Amino acid sequence: MEAFGLLMHGFAVLMTWKIISLMVVGLVLGIFVGVLPGLGGPNGVAILLPLTFTMDPTSAIVMLSCIYWGALFGGAITSILFNIPGEAWSVATTFDGYPMAQQGKAAEALTAAFTSSFIGSLVAVLLITFLAPMISSFALKFGPPEFFAVYLLTFCSFVGLGREAKHKTVISMALGLLIAGIGMDTVSGTLRMTFGSTDLLRGINFLVAVIGLFGISEILLTMEERLALRGHAAKISLRTVLKVWMDLPKYWATLLRSSVIGCWLGITPGGAIAASFMGYNLAKRFSKDPESFGKGRIEGVFAPETAAHASGTAALLPMLALGIPGSGTAAILLGGLMVWGLNPGPLLFVEHKDFVWGLIASMYLGNVVGLVIVLTTVPIFASILRVPFAAVAPMIVVSCAIGAYAIQNAMFDIWLMLGFGVVGYVFKKIGIPLAPFTLALVLGSRAEDAFRLAMIGSGGSVGVFWSNGLVGTITTLAITLLFWPVIDKAFSGVGRMLRPMAQTP
Amino acid sequence: MSNTDLEIIVEDPTAPEDDSPSVVSTHTIEIIVSLVLLALAIALGFDNWRTGIAWDSTGPQPGYFPFYLSVILGGASLYGLITTLFARSGGADTFVTRAQLRRVALVFVPTALFCLATQFLGIYVASFVLIAGFMRMVGKIALWKSLLTAFVFTAIMFVTFDVAFDVIMPKGPIESALGR
């Protein structure tokens, strides 16, 4: 059990007062961010990232990942008490969570949500602990063609499996890759797409774009809505917690099913949103009494929350093992790695053992501490919503601006952030997805380097992507996924043509 | 335990009315965005073509990869433009209503002014003015509360970034007069 020993080492790294207190600060900030309207996981992490610039990488990642866990916990509070999903992945939680609150069972619903979040993350962290080292040692054999093939697979699966209109996903991705290429070319030193501007020389920083795309645009979108809200106050007593926990074993099937769905969708870029809906729908379908869903059934809270958290956590697996983020937030954490001077990818497990295992250990610890914090402090966080949006909005704007400026100490970046805010607002309203854009921005230059190195190695023949079994399989899989909707349609078309023929004789 | 009564209520008196007339339809915006993206793709594609999209002795030239991305971006935008033009949705789908636009402008304009102010006054003074002004003018919150909140928030930011974490922020004449 090599992984186990390394994990223990990770815990030893964490057990200092400095890191534990950073963890608590991160969790509280995260819950705060998850509860506030107009801020979510990716925004919170992006805005608070500059705080960590002067820290050592381990403290920084512990704090940031705790912000992420906190945001995941926080989203449940507003969905249950106010019927307002703080995050898109909490939408499914409102279906049964809010009816429960209306029936006076808010405390039960919240306990159920937090506990199942905890279980979901735990399953995903176990998966990461044992699978990530294996994948990364396998990936150490990868050369540039393999890496490019894996990047291609990530991009293609977004296009093929995403629910948005295909051309919009392609637009989002191509734009992200292009923007990542602006500035000095890393291979030849040539300036590209700068149009003579000295500000563009440095290139467009990924984090500046993310802060604008998620932070500023979210404020604009939130202002469009009616911000009035009516909700229940709740206080969780120890007795309620124990009562819900005693009932847990009854729902083992739901919990297990949702965890598996979540882990799978987290690793592939399906994401927490899809996972939470799928978890909910499957729980409903397998239930003996599907009619009672949507009317305040505790299983309807367990299922989506477990899946959402399992997925949110599992998204970190490809990021750690391969350097490919499974979600928008993971992409931002990956951006953080580069700022702290670490090179994401399989070598991370070899070169920075302390960092990787500290992070994995912090996932265990952060979730335990997070569970305790949310269970004890729900009333305080629920009352944050009393703070008028007119006070919250300018503070978020200021935090965004500070975050954008701090990355490269450039005033130009504040203007860029504003521009990306408008782009994000328009894109969200016309249905151009932002996740592929984020992913393309963070992976862009590395994908291009891998492509060029592979091409140089092969003397310019595209055949290099089919030169051995491994890279050939990945490339073929990527292209299959890209055209999956077409293939799927063709197959069902052929099936439809064959069926009448089979029936006629 | 039967606390079914609503205990947290927040009103939003300036919420956008539901029956506000539409300013522009999503259809129109989609066409505009497609056109802008198409123009961008052509501009970037041309720039990359000038940089060099061929092969030389060391491999692909710097413009090679982004050039083909511009082609993909252009193709996808063109496809979007054509399908939107032929979709003929009748313009019933609202992109933004007049009341919504007013509210969005209410945040966007101060934010843009804040960016401008940051350039000349430094970020701390600009933040103070933005928060206090926004709370007072948009939120109709009592003046003393607005000023106090703005001051406390700005002070916390200053202590966190400038003093504790040594992250340098843009500063203006007031900070330099105080010797920071």
The single-letter code of the amino acid at B36 is: V
Q: What range defines the domain where residue B59 resides?
A: 23-96
Question: Same structural domain for residues B87 and B158?
Answer: no
> pLDDT band at residue B4, thresholds of 50, 70 and 90?
very low
Q: Percentage of chain A surpassing pLDDT 70?
A: 96
Which of B51, B103, B168 is the closest to A224 by Cβ? B103
Distance CA A414, CA A436 (A): 23
Helix (H, G, I), strand (E, B) or coil at B55: strand
Query: Could you say which of B96, B119, B145 is where a domain stops?
Result: B96
Question: Same structural domain for residues B86 and B75?
Answer: yes
Question: Same structural domain for residues B154 and B113?
Answer: yes
For chain A, the straight-line distance linking the first and the last C-alpha, in angstroms and rounded, comes to 61
Q: Percentage of chain A surpassing pLDDT 90?
A: 4
Q: Percentage of chain B surpassing pLDDT 70?
A: 88
The answer, yes or no, to whether residue A503 has pLDDT greater than 70, is: no
Burial B76-113 (b: 16+ CB within 10 A, else e): bbbbbbeebeeeeeeeeeebbbebbbebbebbbebbee
Contact B95 A430 (CB under 8 A): yes
Question: Same structural domain for residues B106 and B90?
Answer: no
pLDDT of B7 reads: 65
> pLDDT band at residue B1, thresholds of 50, 70 and 90?
very low
**Shortest CA distance from B106: residue in chain A:** A223
Helix (H, G, I), strand (E, B) or coil at A229: strand
Contact B10 A460 (CB under 8 A): no
Q: Is B12 within a domain?
A: no
DSSP string, A335-373: HHHHHTT---STTHHHH-HHHHHHHHHHHHHHHHHHHHH
Q: Is B152 within a domain?
A: yes
Give contacts of B66 with chain A, Cβ < 8 Å.
177-178, 181, 192-193, 448
**Shortest CA distance from A384: residue in chain B:** B8
**Shortest CA distance from A382: residue in chain B:** B8
Question: Same structural domain for residues B29 and B73?
Answer: yes
Query: Higher pLDDT residue, A40 or A157?
Result: A157
Distance CA B34, CA B82 (A): 9
Question: Same structural domain for residues B112 and B133?
Answer: yes
Query: Could you say which of B76, B96, B116 is where a domain stops?
Result: B96
pLDDT of B2 reads: 39
For chain B, the straight-line distance linking the first and the last C-alpha, in angstroms and rounded, comes to 56
Contact B147/A at CB under 8 A = no
Q: Is B13 within a domain?
A: no
Q: Is B7 within a domain?
A: no
Contact B172/A at CB under 8 A = no
Which of A174, A395, A421 is the closest to B153 by Cβ? A395
Burial A161-195 (b: 16+ CB within 10 A, else e): bbeebebbbbbbbbbbbbbbbbbebebbeebbbbe
Query: Higher pLDDT residue, B65 or A271?
Result: B65
Please check whether residue A467 is in contact with residue A143, taking contact to mean a CB–CB distance below 8 angstroms.
no
Give contacts of B149 with chain A, Cβ < 8 Å.
391
Which of A195, A391, A402 is the closest to B157 by Cβ? A402
pLDDT for B103-146, tens place per residue?
889 889 999 999 999 988 888 999 999 999 998 888 888 899 89
Which of B10, B73, B138 is the closest to A171 by Cβ? B73
Q: Is B11 within a domain?
A: no
Question: Same structural domain for residues B30 and B92?
Answer: yes
ipTM above 0.95, yes or no: no
The answer, yes or no, to whether residue A420 has pLDDT greater than 90, is: yes
Q: Is B49 within a domain?
A: yes
Q: Which residues contact A176 (CB under 8 A, 6 or more apart)?
A: A436, A437, A438, A439, A440, A441, A444
Of A2, A433, A407, A389, residue with least CA distance to A176: A433
The answer, yes or no, to whether residue A419 has pLDDT greater than 90, is: yes
pLDDT for A331-362, tens place per residue?
888 888 877 778 777 888 888 888 888 888 88
The single-letter code of the amino acid at B148 is: L
Distance CA A228, CA A210 (A): 28
Q: What is the tally of structural domains in chain B?
A: 2
Contact B81/A at CB under 8 A = no
Question: Same structural domain for residues B31 and B64?
Answer: yes
Q: Is B2 within a domain?
A: no
- Mean pLDDT for A170-188 is 86
Give contacts of B73 with chain A, Cβ < 8 Å.
170-171, 174-175, 178
Which of B6, B15, B111 is the closest to A418 by Cβ? B111
Question: Same structural domain for residues B102 and B167?
Answer: yes
